[in-house]
Structure 1
Amino acid sequence: MNLALFPDVVVSGETIPSAAIAAEAQNHTAPRDKPGIAWRKAAQALTIRALLLQEANARGLKPDPLELAPGRFETEDEALIRALLDEALTIAPVTEDAVRTEWARDPDRYRSAPLWDVSHILCACDPRDEAERGLAEARATALLARLDGDAKGFAAAARESDCGSKASDGHLGQLGPGDTVPEFEAAVRTLPEGGISPAPVLSRHGWHIIRLNATAPGQVLPYDTVRPKIVQALEKAAWARASRDFVEGLAQGAQISGASLAPI
């Protein structure tokens, strides 16, 4: 990226170095052919950071870094920003009416995790080994072609699996979200009951042929169970609105060039 194409960012007399913006841009997504979007997002983030630090210093706040994890502490800038927001923002308590209104808007959003009854056939390989991966894929593809969607023949074919589940006709039992590797779960989620994966699925373990035997959808959870989650979400949303309004107020009283706080 040609840094000379981008103007200097200055916040009330404080210049943010282009190198700092370039480094921050690595933390922001943008289309591959539009790197300028990542730059503008980074410039915006550092502009907001500068506004907050300038305000913290103007109020005479002192950093008191917290330990975030054993041996890992906030930076002084992070501690200053936290102290400023703690002092400046007042968030009204979430009312019971607000929680019940949010719940009533769509109770179906709050469900227990689904369960999937799954069987599979594994053609094991090390996916990093191209030759081994190719041989295992060819074997899995041949097995799948032999099945030709015949769910009844799955149990017999599963006896050729490289997984210990072959002793139970490939049956893995009931699985929930997070119980398997992401590639496997993503494939399970696309299958209808009784369906077999249309193509072998690659994971760190090798190639899988997957059959979804049955699905138990999650049940709508009672209000008392989900209330804490709703309260937390409403508090988080209120804090986000308050902090956004606070930053906008700081920006109105500052002189900013080379960056915009408008949504990107």
Structure 2
Amino acid sequence: MSAALLPELVVNGTIIPAAAISAEAQNHHAPKGKPGLAWRKAARALAVRQLLLEEAQRRGIVATCEDLGAGKSETEDEALIRALLEEALEAPEPSEEMVRAEWAKEPDRYRAPPLWEVSHILCACDPGEHEAASAARIRAELLIEALNKGARRFADLAASDSDCGSKANGGTLGQLGPGDTVPEFEAVLRQLPEGEITQEPVRTRFGWHVVRMDACAEGQVLPYEVVRPKLAEAMEKAAWTEAARAFVDELVAAAKISGPDIRAL
């Protein structure tokens, strides 16, 4: 979408050029074929930023840029917006009754992490090399076929065909928990029933895997006393986010804005 064909955004008399909106649009997702939605999201983001800076100036806020770590620090605008929101918003800590009521809605949501006992066979390849990746996938598919027919034991196939060091243990990886493997491998572990083998090879940056779920232990339900601190923190953050949204909506509603339609987002 050409910025030259789209209107400028004017916020309380301040012009935000179409080129600036176009650059910001790269940071906003929109469904395929609807670039106008990303444009409008970008226009709203820039309009909100302008309104927050105007409100900070109206209140006479002065802010010092904070260190963000890794050699980075806030810009002056970011510091002003942070200081404005700290002054303008109130997000009271939820009461004990509120936290307990939220927990009581569905206590089963709060569990310790699961544990999986897993074995695999790796057909290693560089996923970026098309021919090698295709050959590795075919090899993994043939291994799955052999396992389904019962022609070979999983441990025997792992010992003879796996490209992973776990082949020495029949492909066994031992106990794994969330975060112990790459995300695409973990996604399979979260769905694979105990005793089952993946019927399609699993692709990761290491190659193609045939995975067997040897045992699965679902995390135990955690008692309220353990859950409470993080739950209270999450509720406070949610309240702060809602207060920020309402604050921004008030600024937008009171502003004189022309150009892209940003109020319905």
Same fold (TM over 0.5): yes
Contact 1:8–1:18 (8 Å) recurs in 2: yes
The answer for unaligned runs of 5 or more in structure 2 is none
Instruction: For 1:72-221, list aligned pairs within 5 A.
Output: 72-148=72-148, 150=150, 153-160=153-160, 161-221=162-222
Q: Within 2, Cα distance between the matches of 1:245 and 1:20?
A: 26
Q: Within 2, Cα distance between the matches of 1:150 and 1:8?
A: 67
Please name the residue that 2:19 is paired with: 19
Q: Does the residue aligned with 1:51 lie in a helix, a strand or coil?
A: helix
Contact 2:115–2:177 (8 Å) recurs in 1: yes
Residue range with higher mean Cα deviation, 242-251 or 97-106 = 242-251
Q: Within 1, Cα distance between the matches of 2:152 and 2:177?
A: 24
Instruction: For 1:25-44, list aligned pairs within 5 A.
Output: 25-44=25-44
Q: Within 2, Cα distance between the matches of 1:108 and 1:151?
A: 41
Q: Does the residue aligned with 1:228 lie in a helix, a strand or coil?
A: helix
Residue range with higher mean Cα deviation, 114-123 or 137-146 = 137-146
Q: Does the residue aligned with 1:190 lie in a helix, a strand or coil?
A: coil
Residue range with higher mean Cα deviation, 59-68 or 248-257 = 248-257
Shift of 1:124: 1.5
Q: Percent same amino acid among aligned pairs?
A: 58
Q: Within 1, Cα distance between the matches of 2:107 and 2:253?
A: 40
Shift of 1:152: 7.5
Contact 1:151–1:196 (8 Å) recurs in 2: no
Q: Given the two structures, how large is their TM-score scaled by the length of structure 2? A: 0.94
2:228 corresponds to 1:227? yes
Q: Does the residue aligned with 1:27 lie in a helix, a strand or coil?
A: coil
Q: Within 2, Cα distance between the matches of 1:259 and 1:133?
A: 46
Compared with structure 1, are the counterparts of its residues 74 and 149 closer, same or farther at alpha carbon in structure 2 (3 Å cutoff)?
Answer: farther
The answer for unaligned runs of 5 or more in structure 1 is none
Q: Within 2, Cα distance between the matches of 1:93 and 1:260?
A: 36
Compared with structure 1, are the counterparts of its residues 198 and 263 closer, same or farther at alpha carbon in structure 2 (3 Å cutoff)?
Answer: farther
Q: Within 1, Cα distance between the matches of 2:262 and 2:220?
A: 42
Shift of 1:91: 2.2
Shift of 1:93: 2.6
Task: State how many pairs are aligned.
Answer: 264
Question: What per-residue deviation string (whole Å, max 9, x for no partner) do you get for residues 49-68 of structure 1?
Answer: 11100011112222311001
Compared with structure 1, are the counterparts of its residues 151 and 242 closer, same or farther at alpha carbon in structure 2 (3 Å cutoff)?
Answer: farther
For the aligned residues, what is the CA RMSD? 1.7
Q: Within 1, Cα distance between the matches of 2:70 and 2:115?
A: 36
Structure 2 residue identity aligned to 1:52? L
Contact 1:63–1:77 (8 Å) recurs in 2: no
2:3 corresponds to 1:3? yes
Structure 2 residue identity aligned to 1:170? G
Q: Does the residue aligned with 1:173 lie in a helix, a strand or coil?
A: strand
Q: Within 2, Cα distance between the matches of 1:246 and 1:149?
A: 63
Q: Within 2, Cα distance between the matches of 1:244 and 1:230?
A: 21
Structure 2 residue identity aligned to 1:36? G
Q: Within 1, Cα distance between the matches of 2:97 and 2:149?
A: 52
2:56 corresponds to 1:63? no
Structure 2 residue identity aligned to 1:31? P
